[in-house]
Amino acid sequence: MKEQLITCLNKFGYEYSMNDKVICVKQDYAHNLYIDVVDENRIIFSDKLEGYNFLTGKVKMSLKKAMLYNSLSVFIFLVYFFIKNSNSLFFSSIYILIVVSFSFWIIMWTLYYHIKMENLKLMVNSWLK
């Protein structure tokens, strides 16, 4: 099973590295998908945003944790901006624009990483059937 996966990764030009049972497939923009071949009937997928990426900067974490991290940070910034400038309508609208832009950035990159990861998972599953 592992040999078949490695053959397909080579065939389609994916960059990867291997440990004992774990294959790390490098995807775009510092996102890695880890494929753990436990036995012939079971595969465990995990992911990690590493190095510098567009969602977490230099902090290494999974995509799921990055979504939680970014959601909380947007909420904290939004509350901070409203408390700091609740009297001034002009500054509040600028801060809302900043938060909306930041939220859009997060949503777009989260969708990008998630779609790439799920697409690779589906391909790996189809290769190993």
pLDDT at 114 over 70: yes
How confident is residue 117, by pLDDT bands cut at 50, 70 and 90? very high
> What value does the mean pLDDT take over residues 67-94?
80
- Bridge partner list, 44: 36
Token pair belonging to 124: 């790996």
pTM for this model (two decimals) = 0.86
The domain locations on the chain are: 2-127
Cα(62)–Cα(56) distance, integer angstroms? 10
Average pLDDT for the chain? 89
